[in-house]
Amino acid sequence: MEFLQTIPFDQLLIQTINGIVTGMILALVASGLTLIFGIMDVVNFAHGELFMLGAYFGVIVLGATGDFWLALVAASLIIALLGAAIYLTTLRPLLGRDPLTTLLSTFGVSLGLQNYALWQFGPVARKIAEPFTGHFSLFYLDYPWYRLVIALLSAAIIGALWLFLKFGTFGIWIRATTQDRVMAQAMGIPVPWVLTVVFAIGAGMAGASGVLFGPLVGVNPTMGLDWILKTLIVVVVGGMGNLAGSIAAAIFISLLEAYAALWVSPAQAVIVSFVVLILTLLFRPTGLFASSAK
């Protein structure tokens, strides 16, 4: 009983909310990555840079129009188109070759985009203003409403993706292509087009996450690096290509890190996700949340 009293319940609640908010953003980034991996066996190392460029396009559109929501939609669409262009020029010619070639290719794209951002926007972080600045009080804290809105919006976008995959004709095409690409072709499904669209959807989701997350941190050319690492951990822990698993893993790992930050510094708390990654690879290499939900 005495042990229970040492747990700070107020902080526990705050960290639960923080963990879920970060987890939902992470889930949004990771679902794009895992969707792409599931259908074409490509680990897109440039995914973090698409997130970063999404944030920058958000800054630009927000600066020009002053409308955050317009910036969110516009940046997502631009990044989706950019994703399609990257797929067509650097990945499509390599499909079916050694997986190492696509790894190198996306890694090269990642470096290129990072340095483009550095050259174009400079090293100084830019700021995206929150669309609204309201707070509510949570114990001794003023907790910004915007953080809860991020979590809800991320959930809404993931929910929309799920409905699209589950019920739409195009969603059936995507799932069929993921399960058996050759048979999908034999059924008349335009597989080259499906792959391009999936890459664009994944990229657009990364772009959207960048704009949503922008107000919480500065927008800078290397912000993609932190995310790609964490996203890869989430995708591996969730089971490569498993959408539901990635979402569960994103929330699970973010919550663990948030709780760990109660006792150690946030920088040290990051170790938790690596521990989870190593344990997963040792004991459940097909993913902690392995199911057949593709």
Partner 1 sequence: MTRVPMQPLLAVEDIHTYYGKSHILHGVSMEVGNGEVVGLLGRNGVGKSTTLKAVAGLVHPSGGEVRFEGRPITRLPAHRVARLGVGYVPEERRIFPLLTVIENLRTGLDRHGVTTARKKELLEKVYAYFPVLAERRSQAGGTLSGGEQQMLAIARAMMLEPKIILLDEPTEGLMPRMVSQIREIIEVLHREHVAVLLVEQNVPLTLEASQRIYILEKGVVRHHAPAVELQVDDAVIHQYLGV
Question: Which residues of this chain interact with partner 1, rule CB under 8 A?
Answer: 169, 172-173, 175-176, 179-180, 182-192, 292-294
Closer Cβ to partner 1, 156 or 186, answer by number: 186
Minimum CB separation of residue 178 from partner 1 in Å reads 9
Closer Cβ to partner 1, 186 or 264, answer by number: 186
CA dist., res. 286 & res. 239, Å (int): 5
Closer Cβ to partner 1, 40 or 150, answer by number: 40
Minimum CB separation of residue 182 from partner 1 in Å reads 6
Q: How far is CA 123 from CA 45, 98, 107, 148, 225, in A?
A: 21, 36, 21, 30, 14
Q: Please return the burial class of 194, using the count of CB atoms within 10 Å of its CB with bins 0-12, 13-18 and 19+.
A: buried
Minimum CB separation of residue 195 from partner 1 in Å reads 12
Q: Collapse the DSSP code of 219 into the 3-class scheme (helix H, G, I; strand E, B; otherwise coil) and give the result.
A: strand
Minimum CB separation of residue 200 from partner 1 in Å reads 19
Closer Cβ to partner 1, 184 or 235, answer by number: 184
Closer Cβ to partner 1, 107 or 170, answer by number: 170
- What is the DSSP secondary-structure string of 85-152? HHIIIIIGGGTTS-HHHHHHHHHHHHHHHHHHHHHHH-SSPB----S---EEEETTEEEEHHHHHHHH
**DSSP H or E segment with residue 236:** helix 223-238
Minimum CB separation of residue 179 from partner 1 in Å reads 5
Among 272, 167, 213, 185, which residue's Cα sits nearest to residue 24? 213
